[in-house]
Amino acid sequence: MALAPRLEIRQGQSLVMTPQLQQAIKLLQLSNIELSNFVEQELEKNPLLDRDERADIPDMAAESADRERADASGDTGAESGGDTGGDTGGDAGGDDGFSDADTGQLSLNDASPASEMDSGFEDMYPDDTGSDRTGAAGAEGDATPAALGGSDWSASGGSGAGGAAPDSDLDLESRLTRDQTLHEFLTEQLDVSVFDPAKRLIGRFLIDCVDDAGYLRFEDGIDGLVDIADRLGVELEDVEGMLTVMQGFEPTGVMARSLKECMALQLAEQDRLDPAMQCFLDNLELVARRDLAQLCKLCGVDEEDIRDMIAEIRALDPRPGLTFGGETAAPVVPDVFVRAAQGGGWTVELNTETLPRVLVNQQYYATVSGATQNKDDKLYLSDCLQSANWLVKSLDQRARTILKVSREIVRQQDGFFAHGVSHLRPLNLKTIADAIDMHESTVSRVTSNKFMATSRGVFELKYFFTSAISSTDGGDAHSAEAVRHRIRELIDSESPKKILSDDKIVEMLKLSGIDIARRTVAKYREAMNIPSSVERRRQKKLSA
């Protein structure tokens, strides 16, 4: 059969991920910090995007004090406050708890080039197609504030409290001085202790090798003091001498090269570094193995002295450098707040502080496009307007989706909010996805890097999804997280004279109606960094 080229026309269907749809998916899985950074980048490169900094936004709280709240009820799964089902979208006619009257700042211009986008939100969120998100165009010459900042994003869908940026004049935190670092503290001591410039150079090099815990950690390419001497062009004795001097600096134990040396420096200051203690430090691995008999033999002391040495070691600071300020850990900023409602149930609302406020400057677009004659410039402005409108809609839909998923999680896990971890129910992504008519992948993206503030603490949304452990009596399954909590409670309350083995824990759990295997108990115990029964018996024996 001869091979010859030919033309064919075929019709088929394929899934196309447009750039707009890819951006919407990307925004959905970003954390609030990553989202802020992304919006800042868009503000820099898109001239039609403005940050919404209107002063009247905080006043919205007073205007909406009597709004209805959609509160997730405890047992029935219904919601108090007028809404039902926990669904914020999908009803025909836009009756989804977020009408145009509630989110007037989200209105977009129908006549804008955004209507020519090659992909719509119905491709990703088919349940929201019934709601009319577009409003009438503003008066000619006025900027249509297609802004995300116009709504408060509470569970009721109306305007609510919060969202006011702190007054820069009253931002006292930005005016506070930072804590002194370990390197600065060591440098101060070096400057008042050593006056020889060559020795100071050695000292500053050694300080640069100190990590946050206070230990001397050599960087790549440096293998000990010999390499430091070669790099600085000095004698090894000079480097060793400076290290000896600097190991006398505060905090005691700093500049040590190992845990043994750190403890030895602290014990020497307390005049407790006798030969027996030095031998004890040289055999710390025996302490980890609880081999007291071998320690007694090597140190030449009895078991009571070994116990006293262990008590002294425990009183030392293994990381002396951590007493100084370093990089301040950024606190977790919750995306969702859950509060008890007055009439029962729970109030679920978004943290408006984490929602970027941006608007599309239609007035600037009208001014510039009217004065532009070049075809490429007009195309550029059209693309910028399309991108800006899509970003605003993406941020809007992201907020609605997070709220929708959070409300359903609260409804499913009402026992946890009311009674604690022991009442956490088994839950998976499919259950939430089916309840709110979304895909599991969308729920997975929403619950990644998002946090919920409750009366019991701040939890990642992923925390509420746990596997199921069957019940011995055929009743409701138990959450794996609740079982782990129960195991920790049993171990914490065990008697020092009667340590619970894994088999005993299995028996006690089965008496409580939890059908679990011994290997599962061991896996959960190890995941919580709880030692075995043998190790716990040794620890409690030493501390007795």
pLDDT tens, residue order, the chain (544 aa):
678 888 889 898 877 777 777 888 888 889 988 999 999 999 999 999 998 776 444 443 333 333 334 344 434 333 333 343 334 333 333 333 333 333 333 333 333 444 444 444 444 444 444 444 333 333 333 333 334 443 444 444 333 333 444 444 555 555 556 678 899 999 999 999 999 999 999 999 999 999 989 999 877 656 688 888 888 899 999 999 999 999 999 999 999 999 999 999 999 999 999 999 999 999 988 888 888 888 899 999 998 898 889 889 989 999 999 888 656 667 889 999 999 998 888 999 999 888 888 899 999 889 988 888 888 888 999 999 999 999 999 999 999 999 999 999 999 999 999 988 888 899 999 999 999 999 999 999 999 999 999 999 999 999 999 888 888 777 778 888 899 999 999 999 998 888 999 999 999 998 888 989 999 999 999 999 998 998 888 777 766 6
Q: Are 343 and 80 in contact (CB under 8 A)?
A: yes
Angle between helices 375-412 and 19-29 (to 10 degrees): 40
**3-class secondary structure, 296:** helix
C-alpha–C-alpha distance, residues 171 and 542, integer Å: 51
Q: How far apart are CA 377 and CA 368, in angstroms?
A: 10
Element (H, E) at 419: helix 414-419
Could you tell me the two tokens for 261? 């040396």
| Ordered alpha helix ranges (H), 148-196 | 182-193
Task: Report phi then psi at 424, rounded to 5.
Answer: -70, 130
What global pTM score does this model have? 0.59
Whole-number pLDDT of residue 243? 93
Cβ-contact 162, 352 below 8 angstroms = yes
Report the pLDDT value the prediction gives residue 543, as an integer from 0 to 100: 67
Give the CA radius of gyration of the chain: 32
What pLDDT does 329 receive?
65
Partner residues linked to 498 by β-bridges: 495
- CA distance linking residue 243 with residue 205, whole number of Å: 11
Q: Residues 288-306, buried b or exposed e (16+ Cβ, 10 A)?
A: eebebeebbeebebeeebb
DSSP labels for 422-487? GGPPP--HHHHHHHHT--HHHHHHHTTT-EEEETTEEEEGGGG---EE-BTTS-S-EEHHHHHHHH
Helix, strand or coil for residue 340? strand
pLDDT value at position 62? 36
How far apart, in Å, do the first and last CA atoms of the chain sit?
91
Token pair for 501: 């083995």
Query: Residue 536 has what pLDDT?
Result: 87
Alpha helices, DSSP H, located in 30-74: 32-45, 60-63
